[in-house]
């Protein structure tokens, strides 16, 4: 993890620019923004978010740079990244 004083990179989350620490996982970046609703369960229709934090459960899947089904807990943010959550109405 990078120190809190490190420079920030700009990513786009559901169309909104957000500044996060470089090297942070996408899941941590979303959680820092107060987001726990990463995707929508196709059966129940309920919002889902990170559960295991190590890429096993698939609850944190989002779309990153138009790549669907990316496990947010395993992907690291980088400058200019576009993150779309299904909870915002996109298919992730």
pLDDT digits (tens, 9 = 90+) for 31-74: 999 999 999 888 999 999 999 988 899 899 999 999 999 999 99
Averaged pLDDT of the chain: 89
The DSSP code for 25 is B
Nearest CA to 14 among 91, 92, 88?
88
The DSSP code for 48 is E
Q: Name, in order, each residue with C-beta under 8 angstroms of 51's C-beta and a sequence gap of 6 or more.
A: 57, 59, 60
């Amino acid at each position: 993890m990078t120190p809190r004083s490190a420079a920030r990179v700009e990513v786009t989350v559901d169309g909104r620019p957000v500044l996060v620490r470089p090297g942070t996982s996408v899941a941590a970046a979303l959680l820092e923004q107060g987001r726990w609703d990463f995707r929508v369960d196709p059966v129940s229709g309920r919002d889902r978010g990170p559960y295991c934090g190590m890429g096993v459960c698939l609850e944190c899947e989002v779309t990153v740079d138009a790549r669907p089904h990316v496990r947010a807990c395993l992907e690291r943010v980088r400058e200019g990244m576009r993150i779309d959550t299904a909870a915002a109405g996109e298919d992730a």
